[in-house]
Amino acid sequence: MIASCLCYLLLSAARLFRSLSDAFFTCRKNALLAKSSSPQVEGNFAMAPRGPEQEECEGLLQQWREEGWNQALSTASEGPLADKGLAESSLALLMDNSGEQDAASEDKWSSRQLSDLRAAENLDQPFPEVLGEDPLAEVEGPLWAAVPVHTGPQYADCAVLPMGAMAAEQWEEDPAMVAWSIAPEPMSQEETSMWPFEGLEQLQPPPMEIPYHEILWREWEDFSTQPDAQGLEAGDGPQFQFTLMSYNILAQDLMQQSSELYLHCHPDILNWNYRFANLMQEFQHWDPDILCLQEVQEDHYWEQLEPSLRMMGFTCFYKRRTGCKTDGCAVCYKPTRFRLLCASPVEYFRPGLELLNRDNVGLVLLLQPLVPEGLGQVSVAPLCVANTHVLYNPRRGDVKLAQMAILLAEVDKVARLSDGSHCPIILCGDLNSVPDSPLYNFIRDGELQYNGMPAWKVSGQEDFSHQLYQRKLQAPLWPSSLGITDCCQYVTSCHPKRAERRKYGRDFLLRFRFCNIACQRPVGLVLMEGVTDTKPDRPAGWAESIFEEEISELEPVFTRSIGSIQHCLHLTSVYTHFLPQHGRPEVTTMPLGLGMTVDYIFFSAESCENENRTDHRLDRDGTLKLLGRLSLLSEEILWAANGLPNPFYSSDHLCLLASFGMEVTAP
């Protein structure tokens, strides 16, 4: 009897366990299938759940939320709100069913779930009864793809994206939708251009309502009156007028070595043939009398640039960087306006000096302006033009200062006149220093206290103050073996010129028998009786010092100051580095999307005393007068044209252009 009871209980427990197990797996299967988008869900749902306990249903609901909520919302390609509503309705039906429901209610539940799942397969119907909203209107047209665009007010007139069949008003309510654009139509394999940068999708440039040449329009700022037909201005006196352009044209080799800096550019506009045509068109448009170029690739110069510029009427001089570098600097002038007096290439590399172990170069020309023959016997002072491209490294300001000192010493030698003064000077190029940096102030003010200054602070390009180790400038900045004084002059320039080298023959040495130094006992001379204990008598008529003047010529004039350098060229900048009409600083280049000024044109002028030098009009011009300049652009304007380079400007720098006048004097 007891055994039969135990068997009955065991069979009942097994039957109950099997029922509960079937109910558990059926509920879990239904919940997972409710999330699936498989077309087989209708057949799988033919069996209704057998009604598990309420806590088991709550556990299944929590597990479904933890494991598959995000997956359920992302299974369908369209209608995410409909899927969410379907899942919530199915789970709500699952929670409403208890273990005491009859077969009719189970059949009713199954039919409702089947209707929901059929609706889930038909994604064209947005389930209005589940969402409680009106169906969305079907949109016909191209697919939509995310394209980052600027939505700021400053770009509203520059990059207008088409909205296709969808009205723009429907998307203005949601700011996130403003950054979406219609994806371009698929192109054939033949029409698709090669895109060399991996990991980046090639996008068609958005249509521009404003052309590039209007966005990047640069105005000419005139500071003079209208010249006459001969190119000479009447006023205080006739002037010889000329224009000078300074331009870093971006060497192709350097661009390819740093291709990550130009990912924002389409490959077609980076092609050298395209860039060369743009550069030549720019030269022809502005037609300067003097052209100073930086980053000129050597093979491009000899094969294309020099022949083309020669056809335009230029005579060109080129200096390649030392070492294995393939680019350099060039200075071109029109022989119809100037005559060459001398040309001095400058190399900053000095073997054995760690401070000057870089391959940057410069070029200094002395030009004689040619005045029209109809003016009679008149003359114009020579013009010294210096062009350079100093080191880029923002951390090595000490190298930049030393390179600038060498260039200024060469300018001082070339531009120095017989009376000790200097002829008019123009110094231009890529100095890799920002305005108001110590290097900039040194060129403009003529003096710099550098002792203890962090090297990165010299150029002001980047701020490395957060770094523990900082290279600091120590005095003297360069050794005396360089042969340049702290006034940025060659040591030989400090000595009077000698007619000829002294010849130390017998007759010359005998002339020193009757000078004072011959009667003085040398320090440390051993006293020997009858030999070194007597002093020679001074004959009558001996001069106190016969060769004092000649001996003074042998003494070098080379004093080193402590922690400061100077120059006496009186240079000032053509540009003020600020756009008052836009309230923004001027920009000459945009590395990594950050606009800054590193290119300059300095010219010699006599500064007013006790005046602020921030405005060029406060500088009283000497023989060289600034007559006009080509305005620069702000960073915001360049961003509207996709930065630099762009289809209009084929370099990562803007050209600088200025007009000058030189006094014409009668003999």
Return the structure tokens found at 134: 């009106």
Distance CA 283, CA 578 (A): 25
CA distances from residue 456 to 111, 144, 450, 630 in whole angstroms, order as listed: 76, 47, 12, 31
Per-residue confidence (pLDDT) for residue 6, from 0 to 100: 64
Partnered with residue 244 across adjacent β-strands are: 290, 658
pLDDT at 238: 81
Q: How many other β-carbons are positioned within 10 Å of the β-carbon of residue 643?
A: 20
Which pLDDT score, from 0 to 100, does residue 454 have? Answer: 96
Whether residue 386 contacts residue 319, with contact meaning beta carbons closer than 8 Å, is answered with no
**Beta partners for 459?**
none
User: What residues does 416 pair with on adjacent strands?
Assistant: 422
pLDDT confidence of residue 533: 73
pLDDT at 527: 76
Contact 622, 636 (CB under 8 A): no
Cβ-Cβ contacts under 8 Å for 278 (sequence gap 6 or more): 648, 649, 650
* pLDDT value of residue 586: 96
CA neighbor of 590 nearest in space, from 579, 599, 581: 599
CB atoms within 10 A of CB 126: 18
For the entire predicted model, the pTM comes to: 0.62
Q: Phi/psi class of residue 386: alpha, beta or left (left: φ > 0; alpha: ψ in -120 to 50)?
A: beta
Distance CA 278, CA 651 (A): 9
- The string of pLDDT tens digits covering residues 44-98 is 434 444 444 555 555 655 655 555 554 444 444 444 444 444 444 444 444 444 4
User: What is the H or E stretch that residue 353 is in?
Assistant: none
Place of tokens 């052209």: 291
Confidence at residue 4, expressed as pLDDT on a 0 to 100 scale? 64
Going by C-alpha positions, the residue among 335, 275, 333, 265 that lies closest to residue 304 is 275
Other Cβ atoms less than 10 A from the Cβ of 106: the count is 16
Q: Give the residue among 327, 338, 247 at the shortest CA–CA distance from 644.
A: 247
SS3 567: coil
Residue 133, φ and ψ in degrees, nearest 5 = -130, 165
CA 342 to chain centre: 34
- CA atoms of 435 and 440, how far apart (whole Å): 6
The low-confidence residues of the chain, meaning pLDDT below 70, are 1-215, 225-237, 493-504, 508, 510-519, 534-559, 606-622, 667
Q: Which of 314, 247, 241, 218 is nearest to 601 (CA)?
A: 247
Residue 430: the pLDDT is 98
Classify each residue of 586-621 as buried b or exposed e, where b means 16 or more C-beta atoms within 10 Å of its C-beta. Answer: bbbbbbeeebbbbbbbbbbbebeeeeeeeebeebeb
